[in-house]
Amino acid sequence: MSQPLRLGIAGLGTVGAGVVKIVRQKAALLTERSGREITITAVSARTRDKDRGVNLSHYAWEDDPVALATRDDVDVFVELMGGSDGPAKAAVEAALKAGKDVVTANKAMLAHHGQMLAELAEANGAVLRFEAAVAGGIPVIKALTEGLAGNDIQRVMGVMNGTCNYILTRMEDGGLTYEEAFAEADGLGYLEADPTLDVGGIDAGHKLSLLAAIAFGCKVDFDAVELEGIGKVAIDDIRQAADMGYRIKLLGVARMTGRGLEQTMTPCLVPAASPLGQLVGGTNMVVIEGDQVGQIVMRGAGAGEGPTASAVMGDVMDVARGLRVSTFGQAASSLKTCVPARSATPAPYYLRMALIDKPGALAKIATALGDSGVSINRMRQYDHVADAAPVLIVTHKTTRAALEAALEAMTATGVMVTEPVALRIENV
C-alpha cells in the first residue's frame, strides 16, 4: 500500500475540530476509498489548552503555523484559520513554496490573493484546493472544475450566505422586522464577529468572485463585485413581494456579457415557486447554467462543522488519490484579466417608496420614470400612513443605468417622503 498521506492542520475551531474527528472516526473508510492511510502529524492554533471536544494529544503542536506548514513530516497543509492576510496567508505561501499541497476553507484570502497563490502553487508543483471555501458542503468547485468542464458556462447564481437567508426567511415566516430577525440570528451565534461580512454581502461576494473565476476563466476580481447588503429590506418589502408571488434573497449572479464580466451580490426578488424561492433557513443553493447541460441546481448546508469539514476532506481525498487539478480549473497563467462590467443585463425592478399625499404626486413619479425610458408594468397604492402615501411599482425590463437615472429624477420631483427601495427581479 502507498505511504500514508500526512496532514498538518492549522486552525482548530469548529471546522478544524470537525476534520480531526473525521480522520479519527472514519480512518478505515478513508483508507478504503483513497487507497492510502490518511493521518494527522501536527496541529496549530492560538491556544493549546482549549477544550475542542477531540483528543489532540497524539499530534505534535506548533505555535507558529508557518513552522507547521514547512515540517518535513507534513504532506498536505490544511489551513482553517481564516483571514485574508496575516498568519493564514503567510503559512499557505510557505507551504506552497516548500512544494506542499494546500487545502483551505479561506474564501477571503483567495478572493484577494487567489491569482498569486495559484501561480505559486503551479510554480512549485503543488495543488491548492478550496472546496470548503464556497457553499459549505455543496461540491460546487468540483462540479465546475471537473464535471462541467466541457461546458461554456452561461450564468452562475445562488444564495451563498446562510445567515442572510435565515434573516430573510424569519422576516417572512415570523413577521419580524429586519432588526428583530438580525437580533435573533445574532443570539443564535449565526453572525460573524463583524456582522457586515454577512449582512453586507461581503462574505457571499468573496464566494461569487471565486466561482466566476472558474466559470469564465478569469483572474479573481473581488473588487469588481457589485455589493449591496440586506439592511434596507423591510418587512413591507417581504410582504409585498410575497403578495406578488416572489421572495427576496441575497442573490449572487455572475455572467459574461459583450461588455465584460458582470458580478452582483444584491437583494433580489425571485419567483416563490422556483428552487431559489423555496430555499429557507440557513441553507445555500448554487445554480449553474451550461450550454450543454442546461441548468444544474445544487442545494445543501452552507456552513457548520460537519458540512464544511466534509468539503475539506473531499479535497484531502482527491490529493490522496493523486488527482491534480489547477486551482481555478485551468493553468493560472491562462486565466484572463476580464473586463469588469457593471450590471447592464435588462431586468424588471421592484420599487417601493412613500409619496407626499397631494394631488399630482404619483403623476410626477410616472413622468420621471417615463422620461428616463423606464416603463411601468404594474403599480399599487396602499393605505396612507400619516401624511404619506406608500406606493409600489414593478417596471418592465430595463437597465440599471436607466433605473438609476429614473431614481435621480424621482428624487428631484420633491414629492418623495422616503428614499426609494429598488430591487432587481431575477429570472430563475
pLDDT of residue 398: 95
Domain CATH code at residue 370 = 3.30.70.260
Catalytic residue among 89, 107, 142, 207: 207
Q: Let me know if residue 382 belongs to a domain.
A: yes
- Please check whether residues 367 and 289 belong to one and the same domain: no
- Please check whether residues 119 and 247 belong to one and the same domain: no
- Please check whether residues 258 and 211 belong to one and the same domain: yes
pLDDT of residue 383: 72
Q: Let me know if residue 317 belongs to a domain.
A: no
Domain that holds residue 71: 5-133
Q: Let me know if residue 339 belongs to a domain.
A: no
What is the sign, positive or negative, of the torsion defined by CA atoms of 383, 387, 390, 395? positive
- Please check whether residues 249 and 384 belong to one and the same domain: no
Query: Around 5, how many Cα atoms within 13 Å sit in the side-chain half-sphere?
Result: 25
- Please check whether residues 126 and 174 belong to one and the same domain: no
- Is residue 193 within 8 A of residue 199, CB to CB? The reply is no
- Please check whether residues 269 and 188 belong to one and the same domain: yes
pLDDT of residue 343: 72
Q: Determine whether 207 is an active site residue.
A: yes
pLDDT of residue 192: 83
pLDDT of residue 302: 84
Q: Let me know if residue 357 belongs to a domain.
A: yes
Domain endpoint, select from 272, 301, 330: 301
Q: Let me know if residue 336 belongs to a domain.
A: no
Domain CATH code at residue 228 = 3.30.360.10
- Please check whether residues 173 and 294 belong to one and the same domain: yes
Query: What is the number of domains present in the chain?
Result: 3
pLDDT of residue 389: 86
pLDDT of residue 321: 96
Q: Let me know if residue 179 belongs to a domain.
A: yes
**Whose CA is closest to 239, among 172, 167, 165, 170?**
172
CA dist 134 to 13, 17, 154, 293, 358, Å? Answer: 18, 19, 19, 22, 50
- Please check whether residues 277 and 383 belong to one and the same domain: no
**DSSP per-residue string spanning 172-216:** HHH---HHHHHHHHHHTT-S-SSTHHHHTSHHHHHHHHHHHHHHH
pLDDT of residue 335: 97
CA gap 194, 410 in Å, rounded: 35
pLDDT of residue 310: 96
How far, in whole angstroms, is CA 112 from its chain's centroid? Answer: 14
- Please check whether residues 366 and 417 belong to one and the same domain: yes
pLDDT of residue 342: 80
pLDDT of residue 387: 78
Domain endpoint, select from 301, 335, 366: 301
Q: Let me know if residue 216 belongs to a domain.
A: yes
Q: Let me know if residue 308 belongs to a domain.
A: no
- Mean pLDDT of residues grouped by 10 in the chain (428 residues)? 90 95 96 96 92 90 97 98 94 98 97 98 98 94 96 96 94 94 90 89 97 98 96 92 93 94 96 94 94 96 90 97 96 95 86 90 93 93 78 93 94 91 91
- Please check whether residues 77 and 114 belong to one and the same domain: yes
- Please check whether residues 112 and 157 belong to one and the same domain: no
What is the sign, positive or negative, of the torsion defined by CA atoms of 46, 51, 52, 56? positive
Domain endpoint, select from 71, 100, 133: 133
- Please check whether residues 261 and 152 belong to one and the same domain: yes
